[in-house]
Every structure is written in C-alpha cells, then in structure tokens.
Amino acid sequence: MIKFQNVSKCYGHTAILKNISFDIKQGEFVVLIGPSGCGKTTTLKTINRLIEPDNGKIFIDGKDITKANPVELRRTIGYVIQQIGLFPNMTVEQNISIVPKLLKYPKQKCQEIVQDLLALVDMPYEENAHKYPTELSGGQQQRIGVLRALAASPPIILMDEPFGALDPITRDSLQEEIKRIQKKLKKTIVFVTHDMDEALRLADTIIFMNNGKIVQMASPEEMLQNPADSIIKSFLGKHMDNGNGVPKLFAEDFMKTKVFKVPRTSRTLECIKLMSSKDVNSLVVLNDDDTYLGTVSIEDIKALGKPGKEIAELVTNDVITVSRKEGAQIAFDKLLSSKSNYVIVLNDNQTVAGLITRTSMAKALGEALWGEVL
C-alpha cells in the first residue's frame, strides 16, 4: 500500500532521513517511534508531500506519489496532528465536512457523513455538531480531529502524536477508539509517537527510528522478544524485565488457541455430542457476532438442560476473562484465585482469542525455569 524506496532528506548539510525503505500493507496499523528529532514527523510528512524528499521514491498503491497533484493527493490521505488544528472559525460540523466539501460532495451527503462519524465516537449530532472547537474538551477536540481525517473515507490516515497532549485517561480511551475504528473501517494508519506503551498497544508493526534510519521494523511481540538495539531496549524500559533480557510476557503468550466454541443458538444435544467427541467438559458460547457470551459445562447441561433446548439459556459467566495484552502475571493470579480450571483470553473486540488452563500455566512456568519443556 505504502512503499518507501531509499528515501533521503537533508536540511542544509544535515541528513535527516538516511536511505529509508519500508513497506506498509493495506489495513496495517504502523507506528513510527524513536527519540525526538530522529525524523518521524519528516517521514510522515513525505507521505502526503508536505515535505519532498531529496532522493528516493514513495509509492502508494504502486503509484509514484510525485506524479500526483499534491493537493489532490492530500485529499485522499487523512491527516491528524498533535496540535489538533481544528479551525476555530468553523463549527464541529463544518470542520468534519471540510474535505468532503473540497471534493464537492453534495450537501446532503456531507451531513450524513458528519452524523455517521459523530455516532462512531458517541458524540450525539444534535448536541455537538454546532459547537465551536473552543467549546469542546481536549479529548473531544481530538476526536473531531480524527473524524475530520476520516470524513472523505481516505484509505490511509497519517497521525503525528495525535494523543500526545491529552491526559492519560483520555488518551487511553482515544487509543481504544482509534484501534476500533481502524479495524472497523479497515484503514491503513501510520501513527507517530514517542510513547512505547502507545506503540505496543496500537501497532501491528512498529518502525523504530533513530538518527534518520530505521533501527528495527517488527511486530510488538517480536520487538519485545528480540529488540535489535540497546536504544530500543531503553525505550521498552518497563516492558523488559529489569534489563535482564527477559521480555515482559502477556496473557496471549501462554494461551491455547484451540478452543471449542459454539453459537448461542446451538441445542443441548449437539453440545453434549461435541463435548464427548472432543473429550472436554465445557464449551465457550458465542454471540451472533462472534463475541464472547459465556461458558457452558457438562454438569449444567445434565442438571438443567432438556433435550433440544437452546444453549444460551444455560450459559454462565463465572469463568474469568482477561484481555490478550494483560500481563501474564496478572492472568496467572486471576487463574489461581478462580474456581474454574481456566481463564478466557479475549481480543480487543471481545471475540475469543484463546484460553489459559492450569496446565498451560504450569508449562509456562516450567519453561521459564528450565527452558523449553515438551
């Protein structure tokens, strides 16, 4: 989707970007991170041609971006900046619909876009559309900043430390929202930050830069396990175990992904058959949209179930759930203090990622002590 080919940029005699090459896939959430002044913003701005590189080429969907008209190019790429930059002379509605208007969308369509987008971030249209930016909180302003970038449905969105100026709680919820929106709308996002927590939370791929070069480009897990450089280790900081090289582990590192799941509409008999054929004594029950509903055990079915009954009626919720990015230690604590033999690991979107059983925990502890055990 976005391809950098030996991109360089100098200011005077100082090289700011040194021969940068990378590939970003469609739908990928890429986070650029690195120390201040390492060239993150410069890299980002070369994508929408706010900065022109001296050397090298950048392609979007295989097309050299220098062949496109920069103004038209920018209208197809969302852009969110740290200072938010909502136009103070325009209302929320006018701010959001500015790019659709530049693209000459009909009025009706512009208004629909604004309504849909405001709904996406839970800001009711009636209440917010006619406010001016100064009448919103910082977090609300940046939500509108994000919506402005989304308005003309660009496939790519560039974000330069968009949440850097927000308080931690607001930042958390905006991070969650942007991740959700990215998944839902399948956007390719290039996101600049200098906060490793943020990078680990959001990224599919992290690009770590230093001194105008890419030090490492890897998934968060990979970067945690094999940081390519001491500067990356120092950025990972608290995510590493006091620098002894043992990366911090998450629930997802120990879970079994083979989970027997049934839809809520399954009948009791089918469930019993499944359990006996797979030799398990409980099943995970899913809602219609694949999100986690609860579990059902063979005892419950035997005690309460009538043949042909919908399984949803027997579902219980006493099994504890953790998110896949929950620290492994916390997940273990929860498992040990729970009555059941396992905890369910959920993805951010509440679908089931896997489960951690007492056995898989014991195995993990064994590995930590003695290395790989079979």
Ligand X SMILES: Nc1ncnc2c1ncn2[C@@H]1O[C@H](COP(=O)(O)OP(=O)(O)OP(=O)(O)O)[C@@H](O)[C@H]1O
Question: Can you tell me which of 32, 41, 148, 249 binds Mg ion, judged by CB under 5 A?
Answer: 41
Q: Per CB under 8 A, does 121 bind other proteins?
A: no
Does the footprint of other proteins cover residue 60 (CB under 8 A)?
Answer: no
Q: What is the DSSP string of 241-292?
A: STTSS-B--BGGGT-B----EEETT-BHHHHHHHHHHHT-SEEEEE-TTSBE
Note whether 194 and 209 are within 8 A (CB): no
Query: Is 174 strand, coil or helix?
Result: helix
Shortest reach from residue 82's CB to ligand X, in Å: 8
Query: Whose Cβ is closer to Mg ion: residue 34's or residue 100's?
Result: 34
Asked if 75 is part of the footprint of other proteins (rule: CB under 8 A), the reply reads yes
Nearer residue to ligand X within complex by CB, 41 or 95: 41
- The β-bridge relationship of strands 282-286 and 292-297 is antiparallel
Query: Which of 40-48, 70-78, 165-173, 303-311 is the region at the interface with Mg ion (rule: CB under 5 A)?
Result: 40-48
Contacts to ligand X by CB under 6 A? 11, 16, 36-42, 194
Looking at the chain, the number of H-run helices and the number of E-run strands are 15, 16
The site string for other proteins over 2-41 (x = CB under 8 A, - otherwise) reads ----------------------------------------
# residues contacting Mg ion (CB under 5 A): 1
The one of other proteins, ligand X, Mg ion, none whose footprint includes residue 143, by CB under 5 to 8 A per kind, is none
For residue 179, give the H/E element and its range.
helix 168-185
Q: How far is the CB of 93 from ligand X (least distance, A)?
A: 31
Q: Taking the alpha carbons of 201, 203, 207, 212 in that order, is the dihedral positive or negative?
A: negative
Q: Which residue, 108, 112, 193, 192, is CA-closest to 153?
A: 112
Residues 6 or more apart whose Cβ sits within 8 Å of residue 265: 288, 310, 311, 312
Give the binding site for Mg ion (CB under 5 A): 41
Give the binding site for other proteins (CB under 8 A): 48, 50, 71-76, 78-79, 81, 83-91, 98-99, 102, 132-135, 148-149, 158
